[in-house]
Amino acid sequence: MTPLSFHQGVMSNPEFIPQRAALGRQMYHRCELCEHRCGVDRIAGQRGFCGADAVARVWRYWVDYAEELPLRPSLLVYLSGCDLRCDFCISESPAFDPRQGVALTAAWLDNALEWGLQQGARTLQWIGGEPTIHAPAILEVLAGCQPRLPIVWKSDFYGTPATWQLLDSVVNIYVADFKFGNDVCARRIAGVPRYVEIVTRNLEDAASRGRLIVRHLLLPGHRECCLRPILTWLQQRLPRVPFSIRTGYLPRWRADRHPELTRPLAPDEGPQALQLVADYGLNIVD
C-alpha cells in the first residue's frame, strides 16, 4: 500500500479559495457542474436534474472511524442532492432531495470543525448525495473559515472538467466511487448515460492532479459485469492508485427494482471478489 500523508499542509493553496469561490458563484448562473449540463440558473432559483439551487444543505455530519486508513478519523459532512439516482443508495431520500438539511454556512462549518477536532478528526470529508453539485457553495464557506483540516472530496466522479479545475489545489484527496463497470448497468440502476466514459476521464484527470483513492462497492451479481471491467481498467491505466473494495452491500432505498440487488452478498461473493482484486495486483488500501 502506498502511504498517504499530508506533508503538504492542511490545504495546498488556501489563498486560491476566495477566487475559486467567486468563479464558482458565476458557474451557478448556467450550471454545468456535472455532466447532465442542465444549464439552469441556480442563483435565480432554477433547478436542473439534481434539483438543487444555490444553497447547499447539510443533512448529517459525524466523525467516522471506518474510512480508508489514510483518511480516518474523518469528519464527514453530508450534503443533500445528487446527480445520480442509484436505486441501492444507502443514504436514501436525503441523498436525492436537496431541500433537506440545514443551510451550509461558514459559521456552521466552524462549529462542526471545532467539534470534529475534539473528536480526533484528521480530515474534513465532503460527501453527499454528491458534493460536486455544491462545489461553489463549499468553496464559499471554506473561504470564510480557518483551514484546519485536509480536505477530502468523496465523489461519484460525474462532474465536468470545469468543476475539477475549480477544485484543483483546494482538495487534498479525492475519493472516487467507481460504481459500475459498464454503461448498461449504470443507466439501468443509476439513471445516467455515458457513465464509463465520463468517470474514467475524470479519474485520469484527478490522478494527474493529486492524491486519489478509488473505491468500489461490490453489488450482488455484478462481479463480472462491473467489478472485473473496473479492475481491468485500473490495472491498465492507474495501476498504482490506491484501490478500496467494499463488501458490505445491504439492500436499501429502491433496490427492489432490481432482482439481483434485493439480497446482501452471498457468503462466497466477498472473498471471491477480494481474491479477484488481489489477482489484478492493484494497490489495495484498507
Q: Which residues bind another protein (CB under 8 A)?
A: 35-40, 46, 48-49, 51, 85, 187-188, 191-194, 254, 257
In the complex, the smallest distance separating the C-beta of residue 234 from another protein, rounded to whole angstroms, is 26
In the complex, the smallest distance separating the C-beta of residue 38 from another protein, rounded to whole angstroms, is 5
Distances 253 to 95, 97, 129, 195 between C-alpha atoms, Å: 10, 13, 13, 21
Nearer of residues 171 and 192 to another protein, judged by Cβ: 192
In the complex, the smallest distance separating the C-beta of residue 194 from another protein, rounded to whole angstroms, is 7
Distances 128 to 159, 244, 258, 268 between C-alpha atoms, Å: 14, 19, 23, 30
In the complex, the smallest distance separating the C-beta of residue 221 from another protein, rounded to whole angstroms, is 16
DSSP-derived secondary structure letter, 227:
I
Nearer of residues 47 and 223 to another protein, judged by Cβ: 47
Which residues are CB-contacts of 157 (< 8 A; sequence separation ≥ 6)? 176, 177, 178, 198, 199, 202, 203, 206
Nearer of residues 246 and 257 to another protein, judged by Cβ: 257
Count of residues making up the chain? 286
Nearer of residues 221 and 270 to another protein, judged by Cβ: 221
Nearer of residues 83 and 269 to another protein, judged by Cβ: 83
Q: Which three cell numbers stand for residue 70?
A: 489514510
Integer Cα distance of 271 and 89 in angstroms: 23
In the complex, the smallest distance separating the C-beta of residue 184 from another protein, rounded to whole angstroms, is 9
Phi, psi for residue 127 in degrees, rounded to 5: -145, 175
